[in-house]
Structure 1
Amino acid sequence: MSVLRGNIARVTPAENEDEEVLESWTNPYIAEYERRSDFLKATNAYHVNLKLRSLNLASYAFSRNAQEMVGHVGRYPGFGQFTSAVSDPYSDELARLLHNTLASASSLISGQRVVLRHIWPKIGRTLSEFESGEYTNKRVEVFETDEAEFIVELRNYSQHYFLPRLEPRDTFSFDSHSTSRDLQFLLEVKPLYDWSGLAPKVKPYLEAAGESIALLPILERYAQSVREFYTWFWAKAEEKLKDERAELEARTLELRAWGEEVFLAPDWFRKPGGEPPPDWNGRRWMRREKAKIRLNRWQLGYTSRRGITVDSEGVAEVGHDAWTPIYLRA
C-alpha cells in the first residue's frame, strides 16, 4: 500500500491468480487542501513575494559585505604596530571584501530590475509608463553621477580583469597639544588603464583624479545611494501590490486554518512509537480541538474579489472568483 498527496493505493489479488487489481482512494480533504495550495502558488502575488524575498537577500548580502569591509578597515594596525608581516594579508582581505561589496551591489541592482519587469512588464518592446518615467528619473538622479559611474566601472574591472587593490596611507601630524591621524586607502589609477574594457566615459574622471583615488569615502556615498534607491523602489513595489498581497495573505491564513483541521492529530500521535495517555478520550479531544479551530476559521472569514458589473439596464451581476468558500469539513 502506498500514500501520495492524499491518495491511498492498494494492490489486491484478482480472481485470476495471474492478475492484480489496483484499488485507490483519494482523501477529499487533503486533495482539496493541495488544490487550493497550488491555486495560491500560481497567483501573481505569490511569485512576486518569492522575488521580493530574493531581493531582500541581495540587500542583506550587500549590507553585510559593506559592514564587514568597514569593520576590517577599523582593524588597521595602529601607529607602532604596523609591520610588513601584517601588511599583505590585511590588504588581501581588504581587496576581497571590496570585491564582495561591489559584486553584491550589482546583484541588488540587477534583482531590482527583475522585480521591476515582473511588476511593471514591458508591452512588446515598449517600457512600462512607470519604468520609462518615475523609475528612470530616480535612477538617473541617484546613479548617473561621475562617482557612481566610476564605481560601476570598478566593479566591471574586478569581475572581468583583476581585483582592485587598495594601499593604506597613514599620516600623522603633531602640534604642541595633540596628534592627528589621517588614514586613507588609495586606489592606483594606472592599472585601470591597462584594462582594454575600460569605458571611455569614466576616463575624464580618472584623469582629474590624478595618480590615485581615496576610494572608501566614494564607496560609502555610493552605498548610501544604493540603499536610498532600494528603499524607494521597495516602497513603490509594496504600494503597487498592496491589494494583491493582502488578498494572498488573507487566503493563506484561511487555508492554513482549515489545514489545521484537515491534519489535526494529537502530539503523541506524531511521535515515532507514540502512545496515548492512560486517560485518553479521543472523541472528547477531537471535539474540543475542532471547536477551537472552527472558531478561528469563523473569525478569519472568507476573502473574495469578484467585482460587480452593471449592464445598460441597471442590472447588477456579481462576478466569478475561483477562490470559493471552504465548506468542506474533515
Structure 2
Amino acid sequence: MTEHIHKASWAVEREQRLEHLSHLPGKLHHERFEALNRASRLFSTNGTELSHHIAKFVGTMEHVNDLTDDFEHETVRLFHNYIASVATLRDMQRTTHRKLWPERIPEKERRDENDRRTVWEVKIYEPKVQELFGDDDIRFLFDLRNCALHHTVPMMVIGTTWKHVPPAPIQWSNTVELKRSELDKFSRWGGPAKRFLRTQENDVEFLPLLEKYSMRASEFFGWFWEQANSKVRTEPDEYYRKRSEFGHWLAEVHAKPDFEDRHGSHPIPGTLRRNRAKAHAERCEFGTTGWGGMTVDSSGVAVVGESDWDPLPAVGKYRNDAEESDTIT
C-alpha cells in the first residue's frame, strides 16, 4: 500500500516561517534577554517577599514574645533566597556581556589562566560596578553570600526594646539583625566587608543595607539592559517584528466561530466571518515588512537589500483547508 501524506497549505507555510524564525540571530538575543528578565524578577520578588515578611514585626507594636518560631525560620529562608538571587543576577549579566562582547583581555593582563574577563568588561562594566556597588556595606552583602554557602546560613537576632519616661510616649523598637558572633567565625571576608563589620558595634542591622542595594541594583540593571540592547538592537527588532506579523497571520488562519455552549458543539451562525474579519483588520493594522538590510554604496547612497521575508499569503486561499490536519491515506 502506498502512503500519501497530505498537509494543508497553511501548515506548510507555517512550518517554513517557524523554521525561518528559529534561525534568526535575534532569537538568541531574545532568549538571553528573557533569561536576564527572569533573574531580575527573581531578585525583585525575593526582596519584596523578605521586606513584607519583616514588616509584620519591624515597625509594629508586636512584642517579640508573641512571635511564633516560624517567623524566625521564614526570615532566615527568605534572606537566604535574597542573597542567593543577588549572585544569580550578577552571573546572568556576566554570561550575557561575555557573549555580546567576547574579546578577551590580552594574555599579559590576565590574573591567571582562569581569568575570563573581556575588554568590554574591564573598560566599561567593572567601572560601573565599582561606581554603584563599591561601597563597603554592599561588598559585605556580596561576601555574605559566600558565608552562607561555605560557612553557615546567617543566624538572626530578633528583639523588642522599649523605654517609657513620662510624660513622653513609649519608645518601642523591634529589630531583626544578623548575629555578629556567627559572622565573626567566617574567615574569608574581603577587605571592604571587614571594614564594614568594624563599624558595627554589635549585631548587624541589614534592612537599610538591603534597601540601598536594591535601589542600586535597579539602576544598574537599567544601565546594563540599555548597553546590551543597544549592541544588538537591530537583530531582536527583526525577530520581534517577524514573529508578531506571523502571529497575526496565524490568528486569521485559525479564526473560530463563537459557540452557544462551553463544549463548542453549536457554532453561532455568522460569528466565524465576523471573527475572521476582526483578525484580518488587526493584521492589516499591524502591517507587513521585509528585512533585507541596508548598505551604503560608493556614492554614499543607502540601498535597501533584497528581503528574505516574503509577504505572508492572503488567508482567503486557506478557507477550504484551514480546518484540516495532517492525514495519511
TM-score, structure 2 normalization: 0.76
Give the one of 79, 85, 90 matched to 1:98: 79
Over the aligned positions, Cα root-mean-square deviation in angstroms equals: 3.5
Note if 1:107 corresponds to 2:88. yes
Give the one of 112, 121, 144 matched to 2:101: 121
Residue identity opposite 1:65 in structure 2: N
- Where does residue 49 of structure 2 map in the other structure? 68
Note if 1:185 corresponds to 2:176. yes
- Where does residue 21 of structure 2 map in the other structure? 40
Note if 1:254 corresponds to 2:234. no
Structure 1 segment 219-298 matched on structure 2, within 5 A: 219-268=210-259, 274-276=265-267, 280=269, 293-298=279-284
Tell me how many residue pairs correspond in the alignment: 304
Give the Cα separation in 2 of the matches to 1:316 and 1:139.
Answer: 39
Structure 1 residue ranges without an equivalent (≥5):
1-19
- Where does residue 10 of structure 1 map in the other structure? none
Which structure dedicates a bigger proportion of its chain to strand?
A: 1
- Where does residue 150 of structure 2 map in the other structure? 160
Say whether the 8 Å CA contact 1:254–1:302 is kept in structure 2.
Answer: yes
TM-score, structure 1 normalization: 0.76
- Where does residue 163 of structure 2 map in the other structure? 173
Give the Cα separation in 2 of the matches to 1:166 and 1:125.
Answer: 43
Distance 1:262 1:133, change over 3 A: same
Structure 2 residue ranges without an equivalent (≥5):
107-116, 319-329
Distance 1:79 1:258, change over 3 A: closer
CA deviations on 1:8-67 (whole Å, 9 max, x unpaired) are xxxxxxxxxxxx322212323212112212322332333323332332232222222222
Give the Cα separation in 2 of the matches to 1:23 and 1:231.
Answer: 55
Say whether the 8 Å CA contact 2:42–2:85 is kept in structure 1.
Answer: yes
State, as a whole percentage, how many aligned pairs show the same letter. 27
Give the SS at the match of 1:94.
helix
- Where does residue 49 of structure 1 map in the other structure? 30
- Where does residue 23 of structure 1 map in the other structure? 4
Distance 1:79 1:273, change over 3 A: closer
Give the Cα separation in 1 of the matches to 2:189 and 2:157.
Answer: 21
Distance 1:317 1:95, change over 3 A: closer
Give the Cα separation in 2 of the matches to 1:39 and 1:273.
Answer: 34
Query: Which is bigger in relative contact order (C-alpha 8 A, separation at least 6)?
Result: 2
- Where does residue 218 of structure 1 map in the other structure? 209
- Where does residue 5 of structure 1 map in the other structure? none
Say whether the 8 Å CA contact 1:95–1:164 is kept in structure 2.
Answer: yes
Q: What's the offset of the Cα at 1:271?
A: 7.7
Q: What's the offset of the Cα at 1:122?
A: 0.5
Greater CA deviation, 43-52 or 201-210?
A: 201-210
Residue identity opposite 1:214 in structure 2: E
Q: What's the offset of the Cα at 1:295?
A: 4.8
Give the Cα separation in 1 of the matches to 2:15 and 2:286.
Answer: 20
Rg bigger for which structure? 1
